[in-house]
């Protein structure tokens, strides 16, 4: 599809510049192209670039959209305006938009511009501390479970005070007590968690009409991508910003709503026309990605859902190969079959990076990894985030602690990196201002540590991010320790050198802003950012992680009843809405492929040490026999359902 060659419906969307616009965009229907051309068209019609806001969900999608918008603006010969950096459209994720608004209005929340963003690990640690403070056993009340409840409530726009007033059950009362301690920790450390970035933004816009008015006058034209994935708070932020001018363009696909467990509300998209009765609706159904066979299979699967808007993807692409069904006896045989097929594709000239193996639950990756290792096929598992590696977090904690001494979490994290003989109890005394109670030797160690933080702060305020990180690696002693250690330590040093390379991408920004941006992007990083390195390797990931990506060849593993579609261990039956979401998830998996899809299931799978006999997923029969060819062992014990662990 040529860059300027828009189809009739895309053109209609690009030329609709005023008022609310709903674009229903099927998988592979060129939605990013449509949004970016619409932004260009607004500028061509005299709208200042800085008056345009475009929000999406992942850093990868925001980066791609930003690059495409800037490229379109810079290469359009009819535009005679000089586009300075400040004069560009604001393209970011929801969370990055939240950080931007909170930093500009931090005084309203009583926090510093240099607030720390807690990642999930930090939050779980703080909740574990809160449980211990309340004399509750973290084994009985799992910190991750409590964090999920708090996160879901915040995503629904519920504050602690509202939750406290409404809790009735025993567990809710426990959550309320823990949440209260958790909020106190966040406040004391001048920190916000991931969900606060959205909740506090919505609160600022709701409670301060003058702030809402200011942003509405800055951004006159709003674009929201993946609107079906918005939760209550994201929906509120979009509505509040668009309230006065109503120039809001949302793009989404009900058939790709797969995040309800994270609070995404399908109703936001389905009710858009109720909120904006004057809205224009345009449906993009022409797919430019996949073969006719893949689309026929996807359409057959999704049409069984009732909570959706009618649409049928079509393509002018070739019919393509049939979908291949791989049937194996055990999960080990399944992994070997998938690895063999992948190796065949690579030896026939396919780049390894153009092959993806998708699975419903994380535990499935282990046997797949073993098979790829045994057959010496390069692979990359999405899920290990670069910024979550211990050594990387340590370096970033040195920066955060130097800029925000209230961040107990960061101080405790790095006080013994590398070991310098200061215990956690000692550090807590220092934080509480009780250094005088320490013995001379300990006090000396503490003074040296605090002096090191002062030196780091001085470098942070005047040098580039890459210089700062080199300085921290050297001055803290991490370089010496890792250089002289074993293989694992040397790998840590390689990761820190990679961090210097990452940081150098921010060196051109003004000094203070550069460090802020690096810390912000590190905190907001997602699994998909690992793809930036683009190793020539087969990608292994959950279906959820594959959203928004595309590959030539896609394997969907573990297509067994209770695994995909998924049924959790403690559930007797699956609700209609859960069932439809599982179907949407399968639809997302199929539509990642350009050329061919392989479906796979094992007749026996070992879960929790016990072998279970499986029934093939009903999704396979939904596709239609005319689109499928089989390979493998079809002599199977059938009919006994297996139970699978949660993702």
- Find the largest Cα–Cα distance for the chain: 81
Catalytic residue among 122, 189, 226, 530: 226
In contact, 31 and 23? CB cutoff 8 Å: yes
Q: Residue 274: how many CA atoms within 13 Å on its side-chain side?
A: 5
Q: What whole-number distance in Å separates Cα of residue 213 and Cα of residue 202?
A: 13
Is 629 considered catalytic here?
no
Is 74 considered catalytic here?
no
Is 413 considered catalytic here?
no
Structure tokens at 474: 């050297």
Is 103 considered catalytic here?
no
Catalytic residue among 119, 129, 195, 225: 225
For the residues of 253-308, what is the DSSP string, one character each?
Answer: -GGG---GGGT--THHHHTHHHH-TT-EEEEE-B-SSS-HHHHHHHHHHHTT-SSS
CA angle 155, 524, 119 (to 5 degrees): 70
Structure tokens at 481: 């320790």
**The tokens 């809710």 sit on which residue?**
172
C-alpha closest to that of 307 among 255, 268, 231: 255
Strands of 460-592, DSSP E: 538-542, 551-556
Q: Which residues contact 47 (CB under 8 A, 6 or more apart)?
A: 17, 220, 221
Work out whether strand 221-224 and strand 191-193 pair parallel, antiparallel, or are unpaired.
unpaired
C-alpha closest to that of 338 among 326, 346, 320: 326
- Three-state SS annotation for 369-393: HHHHHHCCCCEEECCCCHHHCHHHH
Q: What whole-number distance in Å separates Cα of residue 201 and Cα of residue 197?
A: 6
Catalytic residue among 11, 16, 32, 330: 32
Catalytic residue among 10, 93, 256, 528: 256
For 483, other C-beta atoms within 10 Å of its C-beta total 10
Catalytic residue among 9, 10, 31, 311: 31
Catalytic residue among 393, 592, 596, 605: 592
- Taken as a whole, the chain contains a residue count of 647
Q: Which residues contact 21 (CB under 8 A, 6 or more apart)?
A: 13, 248, 249, 250, 279, 280, 282
Structure tokens at 452: 């090191």
Is 225 considered catalytic here?
yes
Torsion angles phi and psi, residue 284, rounded to 5 = -100, 110
C-alpha closest to that of 320 among 489, 552, 500, 98: 552
Work out whether strand 538-542 and strand 610-613 pair parallel, antiparallel, or are unpaired.
unpaired
For 175-189, b/e burial (b = at least 16 CB within 10 A) is: bbbbbebbbebbeeb
Work out whether strand 610-613 and strand 593-607 pair parallel, antiparallel, or are unpaired.
antiparallel
Q: What whole-number distance in Å separates Cα of residue 269 and Cα of residue 260?
A: 13
Is 511 considered catalytic here?
no
Q: Residue 141: how many CA atoms within 13 Å on its side-chain side?
A: 24
Coil, strand or helix: which one is 318?
coil
What is the set of active-site residues? 31-32, 225-226, 256, 592
């Amino acid at each position: 599809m040529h860059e300027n060659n828009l189809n009739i419906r895309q053109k209609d969307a690009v030329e609709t510049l005023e008022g609310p616009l709903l674009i229903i965009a099927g998988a592979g229907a060129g939605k990013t192209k449509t949004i970016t051309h619409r932004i260009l068209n607004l500028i061509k019609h005299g709208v200042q670039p800085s008056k345009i806001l475009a929000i999406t969900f992942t850093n990868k999608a925001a980066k791609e959209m930003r690059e495409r918008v800037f490229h379109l603006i810079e290469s359009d010969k009819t535009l005679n305006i000089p586009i300075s950096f400040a004069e560009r459209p604001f393209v970011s994720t929801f969370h990055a938009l939240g950080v931007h608004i909170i930093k500009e209005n931090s005084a309203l929340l009583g926090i510093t511009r240099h607030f720390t963003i807690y990642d999930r690990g930090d939050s779980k640690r703080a909740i574990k501390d809160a449980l211990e403070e309340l004399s509750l056993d973290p084994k009985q009340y799992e910190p991750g479970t409590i964090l999920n409840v708090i996160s879901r409530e915040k995503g629904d726009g519920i504050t602690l005070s509202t939750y406290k007033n409404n809790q009735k059950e025993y567990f809710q009362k426990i959550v309320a007590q823990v949440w209260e301690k958790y909020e106190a920790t966040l406040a004391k450390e001048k920190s916000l968690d991931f969900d606060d970035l959205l909740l506090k933004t919505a609160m600022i816009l709701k409670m301060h009409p003058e702030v809402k008015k200011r942003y509405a006058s800055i951004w006159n034209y709003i674009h929201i991508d993946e609107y079906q994935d918005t939760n209550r708070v994201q929906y509120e932020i979009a509505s509040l910003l668009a309230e006065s001018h109503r120039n809001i363009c949302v793009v989404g696909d009900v058939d790709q709503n797969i995040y309800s467990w994270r609070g995404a509300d399908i109703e936001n998209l389905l009710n858009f026309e109720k909120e904006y009765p004057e809205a224009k609706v345009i449906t993009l159904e022409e797919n430019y990605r996949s073969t006719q066979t893949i689309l026929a299979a996807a359409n057959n699967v999704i049409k069984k859902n009732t909570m959706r808007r009618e649409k049928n993807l079509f393509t002018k692409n070739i019919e393509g190969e049939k979908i291949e069904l791989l049937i194996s006896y055990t999960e080990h045989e399944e992994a070997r079959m998938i690895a063999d097929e992948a190796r065949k594709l690579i030896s026939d000239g396919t780049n390894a990076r153009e092959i993806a193996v998708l699975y419903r639950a994380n535990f499935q990756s282990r046997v797949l990894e073993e098979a790829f290792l045994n057959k010496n096929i390069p692979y990359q598992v999405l899920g290990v985030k670069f910024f979550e590696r211990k050594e990387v977090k340590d370096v970033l904690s040195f920066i955060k602690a130097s800029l925000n001494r209230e961040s107990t979490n960061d101080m405790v994290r790095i006080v013994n990196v590398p070991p310098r003989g200061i215990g956690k109890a000692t550090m807590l005394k220092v934080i509480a201002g009780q250094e005088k109670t320490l013995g001379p030797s300990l006090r000396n160690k503490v003074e040296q540590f605090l002096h090191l933080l002062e030196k780091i702060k001085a470098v942070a305020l005047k040098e580039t991010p890459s210089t700062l990180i080199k300085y921290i690696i050297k001055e803290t002693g991490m370089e010496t320790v890792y250089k002289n250690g074993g293989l694992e330590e040397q790998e840590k040093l390689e990761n820190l050198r990679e961090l210097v390379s990452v940081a150098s991408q921010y060196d051109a920004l003004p000094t203070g802003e550069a460090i802020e941006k690096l810390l912000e992007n590190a905190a907001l990083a997602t699994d998909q950012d690992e793809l930036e390195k683009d190793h020539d390797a087969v990608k292994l990931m959950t279906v959820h992680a594959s959203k928004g990506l595309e590959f030539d060849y896609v394997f969907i593993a573990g297509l067994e009843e209770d695994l995909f579609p998924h049924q959790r261990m403690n559930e007797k039956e699956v609700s209609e809405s859960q069932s439809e979401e599982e179907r949407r998830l399968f639809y997302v998996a199929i539509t990642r492929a350009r050329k061919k899809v392989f479906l796979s299931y094992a007749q026996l799978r070992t879960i929790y040490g016990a072998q279970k006999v499986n029934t093939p997923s009903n999704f396979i029969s939904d596709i239609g026999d005319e689109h499928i060819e089989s390979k493998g062992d079809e002599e199977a014990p059938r009919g006994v359902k297996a139970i699978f662990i949660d993702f």
